[in-house]
Amino acid sequence: MVEVLVIFGFLSWLFLAFLQWLSTLPAFPAMLAAAILCPLLSMRGYGYLIRHWRLQGIVSKRDPIPPERFYWIPQKRRLRRMTLVCTVLSLFAWSNALILPASSEISLASVFGWANAVLGIVTLARTISTATLYYNASQWFDAQSPGFVRLLRQAMYKLSDNYEYLHPTKRDHEKEEVY
């Protein structure tokens, strides 16, 4: 029991030392704003993306019907591409926000830093929401998708010989006949 307390104490000390180091950076106010706004904006964006991509079945926890499965292949590519573009934009925006510090003082460099921070916050929130939608939709259509989940499930199956990790799903043929 004492070992666990020592481990948690050490990890807490490391975390506080990391936060103290972050607070010395001139772009700390922008990072703090991102820590507050990104989860809120990504939840809002996730709901918007579910409606926009017509994947409301994820929310209602029903099995995908054939039209949704047919449209998923091109949607998957577009969603992956959108995640990649937003990730690259977010990396560039945050690196610019660190170079031109988005500090609490008013200067031309700070204004450009805050503009980059706002772009970084928006693109990071979009990256989080698209990546979450991609993962949830991939799991909705195929339990073995995306690829890293397949590797984890197969490894757990090999370690335990439990077929539940492979998560075989049977399609309802009555629904298939309609389409």
107-144, pLDDT tens digit by residue? 888 888 899 999 999 999 999 999 999 988 888 887 66
**Residue 33 pLDDT more than 70?**
yes
Q: How confident is the model at residue 11 (pLDDT cuts 50, 70, 90)?
A: very high
Predicted TM-score of the model (pTM): 0.76
Q: Rounded to 5 degrees, what are φ and ψ at 90?
A: -65, -40
